[in-house]
Chain A
């Protein structure tokens, strides 16, 4: 068993937490149903039933997903907007309008479980997410590599998340 210090924190929005809780309950039900009703028989001692194999596959996936969700629900941290006087700084949960390479874009900084970069939700563990944290409007944030990109922060907001 990992100690408390070793366990990772999972940052979740309220909506994300609700979704995972629902999924957890549904998967537990699904697993019970599968075990109860669907356990197929193996037809012959030397034959292998493909339905049985896929069923086993499902069960092991269900179990590993349930385990993963258990860990998340044990170690989550709800993303909350910071107090008003700290809302001028980028924290997890902030929606940041940036200018990059002459184009304007908008990112919401979330935990890895809810990241969807194409839809503008980027993980606080990604290089860009990490670099934006703790910066203010007007700051120019450099993301270094052979190709260095500068993100100029134009606006920071905290919506109801």
Chain B
């Protein structure tokens, strides 16, 4: 059981390094990855569903998993049959530029054929990914994905549109920053795919605020303006690399949003196994690092970095052992910065939503509920899983402190079983390294 979960988590971790192909075709450098897209899609769905009232847990799960098949099947675009395979050739890139200027020129019949083939490939990719998971879980994931992909349930239909809306928001952000996106085509496309009233309202506001002309008079701001501002700000987490990895010299280190995506799925599956309130577990995990938009990613090494002149690389070979007073001082400072950040980030949201997000964050930080305490420990384990992946790539990566700390920090019996499995996985790597 734990082994199948671990294999699954390691596999989905690959989505942190899968740049979305559509953006690459537009020539965007270091674009968002599938994991980044899944992260913001889940938050968009969570918040925009407030006025719809669909089953929140089902929706969050669907949005978190809707592109998981991309571990095995490449991210597809409507232009695929026309796109040359070799993207390294300059002549092909020019060709692609021309292709992307027009709508995909396929007849309805051709489109249906492409779509049917695509569906089968995606399903096959998903089935391969979940093949070894326990039957019940496998069925749950497959059912949610099929309902999303076929749009046969209300949740599936809404989630499908939310996923498209997230891509549209990202497209407009790239258009604004890099001007490489064919804006008119995207606008036409989004009108075809998004029909839900709430999502249409949000789409309109997004278009107006990102690519409309500057209003001549001051416009009355609606609650949608606040939501737009919130989603735009959390989009920044897709491009904030986690400092702990950067300090250790990791190239292309994971971003805050990639970590959140990965950790949320881990918390969901493990928390569900433990019988916790899965919806709350997922929401705490999604909210736990939102404050880093403004507060940045702070590490427990910060107090030493501020006072120690020795080489940074030496510091990371051991856990940060500092006096209790200094720890408390640092923790209070961190909490204060993060508190101000989360309040600022949610300040444009309706009061009830702001309260909900802040409460979830406080639960994570303070361990108020069993769900809060559990997610905080999963967060540490997710870091260890990532550290092992970096160690696999570069045996100079200082892995020891992660192991030492995990044995001091995790006490949940189910999570300790998972850590044992992780230890077996790591031991193979470690032995081959020692040889």
- With A54-B356, A100-B404 as known contacts, state yes or no: A118 contacts B300, CB within 8 Å: yes
Q: Is A50 part of the binding interface, using a Cβ–Cβ cutoff of 8 Å?
A: yes
- Residues of A within 8 Å of B350, CB to CB, are 50-51
Asked whether B369 lies within 8 Å of A64 as measured between CB atoms, the reply is yes
Asked whether A53 lies within 8 Å of B50 as measured between CB atoms, the reply is yes
Asked whether B430 lies within 8 Å of A120 as measured between CB atoms, the reply is no
Asked whether B426 lies within 8 Å of A146 as measured between CB atoms, the reply is yes
Q: Is B124 part of the binding interface, using a Cβ–Cβ cutoff of 8 Å?
A: no
Asked whether B51 lies within 8 Å of A119 as measured between CB atoms, the reply is no
- Residues of A within 8 Å of B373, CB to CB, are 112-113
Asked whether A61 lies within 8 Å of B318 as measured between CB atoms, the reply is no
Which of A110-161 touch B at CB < 8 Å?
112-113, 115-120, 122-129, 143, 145-147, 149
- Residues of A within 8 Å of B411, CB to CB, are 112, 115, 123-126, 129
CA A34 to CA B426, docked complex, whole Å: 50
Q: Is B395 part of the binding interface, using a Cβ–Cβ cutoff of 8 Å?
A: no
Asked whether B321 lies within 8 Å of A128 as measured between CB atoms, the reply is no
* Interface of chain B: mostly helix, strand, loop or mixed: helix
B-binding residues in A (CB < 8 A): 48, 50-51, 53-55, 57-58, 61, 64-65, 68, 100-107, 112-113, 115-120, 122-129, 143, 145-147, 149
Nearest CB in chain B to that of A60: its residue: B277
Which of B407-428 touch A at CB < 8 Å?
407-413, 416, 423, 426-427
- Residues of A within 8 Å of B367, CB to CB, are 113, 116
Nearest CB in chain B to that of A68: its residue: B370
CA A128 to CA B405, docked complex, whole Å: 9
CA A53 to CA B430, docked complex, whole Å: 49
- Residues of A within 8 Å of B321, CB to CB, are 100, 103-105
- Residues of A within 8 Å of B416, CB to CB, are 127
From A100, A116, A129, A146, give the contact of B430 (CB < 8 A).
A146
- 5 new A-B contacts, CB < 8 A, other than A104-B321, A147-B400, are A54-B356, A61-B359, A113-B367, A120-B327, A127-B410
- With A143-B407, A147-B404 as known contacts, state yes or no: A119 contacts B328, CB within 8 Å: yes
Size of interface on B: residues with Cβ below 8 Å to A: 42
Nearest CB in chain B to that of A40: its residue: B352
Asked whether A126 lies within 8 Å of B410 as measured between CB atoms, the reply is yes
CA A145 to CA B388, docked complex, whole Å: 14
Q: Which 6 pairs show the lowest CB-CB distances between chains A and B?
A: A48-B53, A123-B411, A50-B50, A54-B352, A125-B411, A147-B403
CA A146 to CA B324, docked complex, whole Å: 29
CA A108 to CA B283, docked complex, whole Å: 31
Asked whether B408 lies within 8 Å of A122 as measured between CB atoms, the reply is yes
- With A50-B51, A68-B370 as known contacts, state yes or no: A145 contacts B352, CB within 8 Å: no
Q: Is B112 part of the binding interface, using a Cβ–Cβ cutoff of 8 Å?
A: no
- Residues of A within 8 Å of B176, CB to CB, are none
Asked whether A61 lies within 8 Å of B50 as measured between CB atoms, the reply is no
- Residues of A within 8 Å of B430, CB to CB, are 146-147
Asked whether B403 lies within 8 Å of A126 as measured between CB atoms, the reply is no
What's the least CB distance linking A20 to chain B, in Å?
11
CA A61 to CA B409, docked complex, whole Å: 25
Nearest CB in chain A to that of B410: its residue: A126
Asked whether B352 lies within 8 Å of A55 as measured between CB atoms, the reply is yes
What's the least CB distance linking A57 to chain B, in Å?
7
- Residues of B within 8 Å of A101, CB to CB, are 318-319, 400, 404
